[in-house]
């Protein structure tokens, strides 16, 4: 019999963690109720605390980081386009010279 993995949304995970952290419910009771392995609960809790600082960052910091990343990616892609255009120009020039040498112009 194949076991179906359940997917919990981020909001659901936070609500489950809140029950333990704020409402002081026992982890075993919560896990038994929603049929969740305790090690998964503790993994969520660890991830929650490791990434909690993001919640307190200013939106500007998050946005500027994304903007910087996108600007770098844009610059990299522009450089690739320039390089490809240069190669195409070189090949076209060689092609025209070859045609002239063969008298096809």
Measured CA angle at 96 (ends 95, 98), to 5 deg: 65
For residue 67, being part of any structural domain is answered with yes
Is 2 contained in some domain? no
Q: Nearest Cα to 36, choosing from 2, 6, 14, 1?
A: 6
In a domain, 100, yes or no: no
Residue 61 has pLDDT above 70, yes or no: no
85 domain residue, yes or no: no
Instruction: Provide the whole-model pTM.
Output: 0.53
91 assigned to some structural domain:
no
Residue 33 located in a structural domain: yes
What's the domain count of the chain? 1
Determine the Cα–Cα distance for residues 45 and 47; give it in Å rounded to an integer. Answer: 5
Per residue in 73-87, pLDDT (tens digit) is: 999 999 999 999 999
Would the pLDDT of 32 be above 90?
A: yes
Domain with 67 in it: 10-80
55 in any annotated domain: yes
For the segment 46-62, the average pLDDT, to the nearest whole number, is 80
């Amino acid at each position: 019999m194949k076991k179906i993995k359940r997917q919990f949304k981020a909001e659901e995970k936070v609500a489950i963690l809140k029950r333990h952290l704020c409402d002081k419910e026992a982890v075993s009771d919560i896990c038994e109720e929603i049929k969740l392995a305790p090690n998964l609960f503790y993994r969520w809790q660890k991830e929650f605390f490791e990434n909690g600082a993001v919640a307190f960052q200013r939106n500007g910091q998050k946005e500027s980081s994304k903007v910087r990343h996108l600007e770098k990616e844009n610059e990299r892609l522009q450089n690739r386009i320039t390089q490809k255009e240069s190669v195409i120009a070189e090949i076209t020039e060689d092609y025209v010279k070859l045609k002239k040498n063969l008298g096809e112009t």
